[in-house]
Structure 1
Amino acid sequence: MFTPCPTERSRAIADRVESFVRKIVAPYERDPRYGAHGPSADLVDELRAKAREAGVMTPHILNDGSHLTQLETAAVLKRSGLSPLGPVAVNTMAPDEGNMFLLGKVATPEQRRRFLDQLVSGAARSAFFMTEPAEDGGAGSDPSMLQTTAVKRGDEWVINGRKMFITGAEGASVGIVMARTSEDGKVQSTMFLVDLPDPAIRIERVLDTIDNSMPGGHALIVIDNLRVPASQVLGEINEGFRYAQVRLSPARLSHCMRWHGCATRAHEIAVAYATTRKAFGKLLIDHEGVGFMLAENLIDLQQAALMIDWCAGVLDGGALGTNESSMTKVAVSEAVFRVADRCVQIMGGSGVSRDSIVEQVFREVRAFRIYDGPTEVHKWSLAKMIKRKTLSGEASHG
């Protein structure tokens, strides 16, 4: 079901992660502490304690602080996704995984010590404050619409605005806030590191959403005169949009990795059901309509795995991978949704019941088609790229 691990070290890590997720994490899927807004803080702490004991905490970042290649990371994160709780337990879940990657690339040594180390250890969670409410005309898929402002006041920056769908804000200890720092009419932004909780950052409410795999849920936030010292500017001033791209390409890909693992698990459950459940005198899998759906699942999962590995190779080659990650995000999110949808259909009433994890996988991957850029936005971006290259003569012919 998974493409081969590219290196011996990635195989060893991936195997340990898979064993841990299947044997230790999966039984927690019905834990009452796993609620509508994600696993509770004490459930996260309990799972992470077990992950440390098993030696699989933050498995994509090695003891010396170095990061597995993206291709190696793909092998590991796909296995971590075999349960919706797996990435939470082993610390490969969004937004922490993407925030750790960004801090590793951009933060100063002091910022890494203060903010990154606690994330890598799994002792703390983080939130990324970028998306804004639509009713405010704020940034969603178009970050240039950013309304939150940051104004320099002496040695501090004062930030005001509202943020929407902020994953994990409730219970987070580290925040990355993206705010507008435009000058001379230019639309520019800057990222700021903040300690959480902070009285200037208020959670209005945690939204009830279709998914519930991420701790803290997705919150509506008000930022009221938040004061951030200049030492906590992440990277350079007015370079927030550029850093967002540094984060977003691998973060999109990481989502693909994790949800590929979940879809694989759903397929396994559907196969087990179809090979034991009988109807009209024979096993479900012997009915062509069911057997063909399972075959289509295999095809979609394999194609998705190959897209993930292809994009990982592009990123490992040093490219920003904006177009490649867009193509992969579209292909994988649509493919794993088809897989989850077929699994629900094959299992009938059992597929829509929360007695099985298949129902949750269906909800999670449906949301995946929206966040980190809806399918339609990525297609539109790719169409613009095609037009630009064709009209400029960059496109190949023949």
Structure 2
Amino acid sequence: MDFAYDATTEELRGRLLRFMDEHVHPAEAVAHEQLAGAADEWTRPPVLAELKAEARRQGLWNLFLPDAEHGAGLTNLQYAPLAEITGRSPQLAPEALNCAAPDTGNMEVLAMFGTERQKQRWLRPLLEGEIRSAFCMTEPEVASSDATNIATSIRRDGDSYVINGRKWWSTGAMDPNCAVFIVMGKTDPDADRHRQQSMVLVPRDTPGVTVRRGMRVFGYTDGSHGGHAEVVFDDVRVPADNLVAGEGEGFAIAQARLGPGRIHHCMRLIGTAERALELMCRRANERVAFGRPIAHQGVVQEWIAESRVRIEQARLLVLKTAWLMDTVGNKGAHTEIQAIKIATPLMAEWVLDKAIQVHGAGGVSQDFPLAQLWASARTLRLADGPDEVHRMSLAKRELKRHRA
């Protein structure tokens, strides 16, 4: 394993770091002001359109997609340090580069499993940043950490599928530019438990689709992912050729989608933790308590040192996972994907907590980004599978290796 950055990665890192310093970070305060005065809390700040245009002009666009036909053609190992940089400003940077969830995962699904018609209708405008999308999997009535529990019905009726059910935490659905949902539901409740589910493309304006409300994250309006919504599907009818892949393929598609999604989240979280550590060090050097800078306090020094150790440990594990995904595939990297999904959000949450503590009351205020970053990091211990499910699965794999 060689984690040294190759020439392509170094060149893109340099361009992306300049883009962050010259455009993204200065736009954070502007975006905050624009959203504070917006009539619709789920709207995207106008400055984001400027960032997108500049990112496209600089060739910093669709970096996440390894498919050279549709994306930048980077490996996971090449993309990892770039995603880390965007994690320093998760509310703006990923979307500015057209590398924000859930569109990234939805584009990967369409690129891997979509028909030519589906690619032309939905993948092309997503790649161009003309529309956004939503992913509808989680349901309020069942424990969705077990995807086989999903109860939404997708019933074949002639040349159509009819969808009935209720979803929530449907990421992307609150974005005013969201045009299509990827909906997971059951087409055959009597099949093998991993062959009951299918995925279908549902245009947002289809009769019977009701976006009931937006879901807040610890009180925050999380627009960076297009918001999270409760969505009701009441006799929603779509053409049969809106089915993704085939009936019974939904669970397998979800697993294929979630592997890259999990590592992308972890890559960005490392950047989030780096920014938290940077803010913690600056604050510790500037603030004076009991006659000297709080950086001189042993407990603060311990937090700073421990933060660096934890960040480096997580980064190495994420890089190893990226390398394995590139060399042996997602299935071969399954253990490591689960490990980073457990370890990285916990690491980022811990570093952010200590940065908040060093900032005192300011740390929980809107004057610093730490509280919102903490809320996002804490949420990722639930998104794409809760810690406990990943631990259970990982333990079973370890036990199996040693079973006679």
TM-score (norm 2): 0.90
Q: What is the CA distance between 1:277 and its match in structure 2?
A: 2.1
Q: What is the CA distance between 1:276 and its match in structure 2?
A: 2.2
CA distance in 2 between counterparts of 1:219 and 1:37 reads 13
CA distance in 2 between counterparts of 1:215 and 1:41 reads 13
Q: What is the letter of the counterpart of residue 106 of structure 2?
A: N
Q: What is the letter of the counterpart of residue 203 of structure 2?
A: D
CA distance in 2 between counterparts of 1:372 and 1:82 reads 21
Q: What is the letter of the counterpart of residue 315 of structure 1?
A: M
What are the Cα deviations for residues 257-314 of structure 1, in whole angstroms up to 9, with x where unaligned?
1121112112111111112222223222222111111111111111111111111112
- Residues matched between the structures, number: 387
Residue matched to 1:99: 106
- Seen in structure 2, the aligned counterparts of structure 1 residues 302 and 337 have a Cα distance that, compared at 3 Å, is same
Contact 2:3 2:319 in 1 (8 A): no
1:201 aligns with 2:209: yes
Counterpart pick for 1:323 among 323, 335, 340: 335
Q: Show structure 2 runs of 5+ residues with no match.
A: none
Matches within 5 A, 1:1-398: 6-30=5-29, 31-34=32-35, 40=44, 42-61=46-65, 64-66=69-71, 67-84=73-90, 85-133=92-140, 136=141, 138-170=142-174, 171=176, 172-182=178-188, 184-187=190-193, 188-210=196-218, 211=220, 212-317=222-327, 318-320=329-331, 321-391=333-403, 393=404
SS at match of 2:129: coil
CA distance in 2 between counterparts of 1:339 and 1:4 reads 24
CA distance in 1 between counterparts of 2:343 and 2:163 reads 37
Q: What is the letter of the counterpart of residue 72 of structure 1?
A: Q
SS at match of 1:204: strand
Contact 1:60 1:76 in 2 (8 A): no
CA distance in 2 between counterparts of 1:5 and 1:368 reads 28
Contact 1:293 1:342 in 2 (8 A): yes
- Seen in structure 2, the aligned counterparts of structure 1 residues 139 and 193 have a Cα distance that, compared at 3 Å, is farther
CA distance in 2 between counterparts of 1:9 and 1:327 reads 28
SS at match of 1:111: helix
Q: Which deviates the most, 141-150 or 114-123?
A: 114-123
Q: What is the letter of the counterpart of residue 19 of structure 1?
A: R
Q: What is the letter of the counterpart of residue 130 of structure 1?
A: M
CA distance in 2 between counterparts of 1:384 and 1:87 reads 34
Q: What is the letter of the counterpart of residue 73 of structure 1?
A: Y
CA distance in 1 between counterparts of 2:311 and 2:304 reads 11
CA distance in 2 between counterparts of 1:183 and 1:266 reads 46
Contact 1:38 1:214 in 2 (8 A): no
Q: What is the CA distance between 1:43 and its match in structure 2?
A: 4.7
Q: What is the CA distance between 1:4 and its match in structure 2?
A: 6.0
- Seen in structure 2, the aligned counterparts of structure 1 residues 258 and 249 have a Cα distance that, compared at 3 Å, is same
- Seen in structure 2, the aligned counterparts of structure 1 residues 213 and 206 have a Cα distance that, compared at 3 Å, is closer
Contact 1:129 1:175 in 2 (8 A): yes
Q: Which deviates the most, 238-247 or 342-351?
A: 342-351
Q: What is the CA distance between 1:197 and its match in structure 2?
A: 3.0
SS at match of 1:275: helix
CA distance in 1 between counterparts of 2:134 and 2:99 reads 14
Query: Sequence identity, in percent?
Result: 35
Q: What is the letter of the counterpart of residue 197 of structure 2?
A: S
RMSD of the TM alignment (CA)? 2.1
SS at match of 1:214: helix
CA distance in 2 between counterparts of 1:266 and 1:213 reads 21
Q: What is the letter of the counterpart of residue 65 of structure 1?
A: H
Q: Which deviates the most, 309-318 or 6-15?
A: 6-15
- Seen in structure 2, the aligned counterparts of structure 1 residues 253 and 34 have a Cα distance that, compared at 3 Å, is farther
- Seen in structure 2, the aligned counterparts of structure 1 residues 109 and 229 have a Cα distance that, compared at 3 Å, is same
SS at match of 2:286: coil
SS at match of 1:268: helix
Q: Show structure 1 runs of 5+ residues with no match.
A: 394-398
CA distance in 2 between counterparts of 1:46 and 1:223 reads 35
Q: What is the letter of the counterpart of residue 13 of structure 1?
A: L
CA distance in 1 between counterparts of 2:137 and 2:279 reads 37
What are the Cα deviations for residues 81-125 of structure 1, in whole angstroms up to 9, with x where unaligned?
111221121121111111122222211233222211111122211
CA distance in 1 between counterparts of 2:103 and 2:191 reads 33
- Seen in structure 2, the aligned counterparts of structure 1 residues 165 and 217 have a Cα distance that, compared at 3 Å, is same
Q: What is the letter of the counterpart of residue 210 of structure 2?
A: R
Contact 2:136 2:182 in 1 (8 A): yes
CA distance in 1 between counterparts of 2:339 and 2:3 reads 22
Q: What is the CA distance between 1:18 and its match in structure 2?
A: 2.3
